[in-house]
A and B are shown apart, each in its own frame.
Chain A
Amino acid sequence: MRVRLKVWRQQSPSAKGKFVTYPIDNANADMSMLECLDVLNEQLIERGEDPIAFEHDCREGICGSCGFMINGVAHGPLQATTVCQLTMRHFKDGEELVLEPWRARAFPMIKDLVVDRRSFDRIIASGGYISVSTGSAPDGNAILVPKESADRAMDAAACIGCGACVAACPNASAALFTGAKIAHLGILPQGKPEQDIRALRMVTQMNAEGFGGCTNIGECTAVCPKEIPLEVIAAMNRDYLRGSWRERDNLVTTIRPFTEWSTGSKLKIDPNAGI
Chain B
Amino acid sequence: MQLNARIPSGPIEQLWDETRFNMKLVNPANKRRHSLIVVGSGLAGGSAAASLGELGYNVKCFCFQDSPRRAHSIAAQGGINAAKNYQNDGDSVYRLFYDTVKGGDFRAREANVYRLAQISVHIIDQCVAQGVPFAREYGGTLTNRSFGGAQVSRTFYARGQTGQQLLLGAYQALERQVQAGTVAMYPRTEMLDLIVIDGHARGIVTRNLVTGEIDTHLADAVILGTGGYGNVFYLSTNAKGSNVTASWRAHKRGALFANPCFTQIHPTCIPVSGDYQSKLTLMSESLRNDGRIWVPKKKGDKRPPNQIPEEDRDYYLERRYPSFGNLVPRDVASRNAKYVCDEGRGVGETGLGVYLDFADAIRRLGRKAIEERYGNLFDMYQRITGEDPYEVPMRIYPAIHYTMGGLWVDYHLMSSIPGLFVIGEANFSDHGANRLGASALMQGLSDGYFIVPYTVGDYLATNKLEKVNESHSEVRNAVACVQQMTQKLLAINGKRTVDSFHRQLGKIVWDYCGMSRTAEGLQTAIDQIRELREEYWHNVRVPGSGDDFNQSLEKAGRVADFFELAELMCVDALERNESCGGHFREEYQTPDGEAQRDDEHYSYVAAWDYRGYGNREELVKEPLEFEYVHPSQRSYK
Contacts and interface: CB of A to CB of B under 8 A. Distances in A.
Contacts of B213: 262-264, 266
A118 B67 contact: yes
Interface residues on B, range: 35 or more
A118 B187 contact: yes
Contact of A146 (B86, B136, B175, B276): B136
Contact of B133 (A116, A140, A188): A188
A93 interface: no
Contacts of B51: 133-134
A58 B75 contact: yes
Interface stretch (B178-186, B287-295, B362-370): B178-186
Given A38-B276, A141-B141, A265-B215, A63 B75 contact: yes
Contacts of A130: 129-131, 172
Given A134-B450, A263-B213, A58 B74 contact: yes
Interface string A138-162: 1111011111001101100110110
B449 interface: yes
Nearest to B551: A53
B75 A132 contact: no
B557 interface: no
A134 to B, nearest CB: 4
A175 B386 CA distance: 35
A63 B70 contact: yes
A42 B66 contact: no
Given A124-B175, A147-B140, A265-B216, A63 B278 contact: no
A140 B140 CA distance: 11
A196 interface: no
Contacts of B133: 150-151, 153-154, 157, 184, 188
Contacts of A161: 67, 69
A157 B158 CA distance: 10
Contacts of A35: 276-278
Most interface-central of B173, B274, B278 (chain A CB within 10 A): B278
Contact of A132 (B129, B159, B384, B386): B129
A39 B276 contact: yes
Contact of A272 (B69, B181, B206, B208): B181
Q: Is the interface of A mostly helix, strand, loop or mixed?
A: loop
A157 B165 contact: yes
B164 interface: yes
B623 interface: no
B543 A50 contact: yes
A32 B453 CA distance: 42
B273 A30 contact: yes
Contacts of B127: 140
Contact of A144 (B68, B139, B179): B139
Contacts of A89: 386
B65 interface: yes
A64 B69 contact: yes
A99 B74 CA distance: 27
A176 B623 CA distance: 55
Interface in A139-195: 139-141, 143-147, 150-151, 153-154, 157-158, 160-161, 184-185, 188, 190-191
Given A38-B276, A150-B134, 7 more contacts: A30-B273, A30-B386, A58-B240, A121-B178, A134-B450, A263-B208, A271-B178
14 contacts: A29-B386, A34-B278, A45-B552, A50-B544, A62-B164, A139-B125, A144-B139, A145-B136, A153-B131, A157-B133, A261-B208, A261-B210, A266-B213, A272-B184
Interface of B: 47, 50-51, 54, 65-70, 72, 74-75, 84, 86, 122, 124-131, 133-142, 158-159, 161, 164-165, 168, 171-173, 175-176, 178-181, 184-189, 206, 208, 210-211, 213, 215-217, 237, 239-241, 273-274, 276-279, 281-282, 380, 383-386, 449-450, 453, 470, 495, 497, 499-500, 541, 543-544, 548-549, 551-552
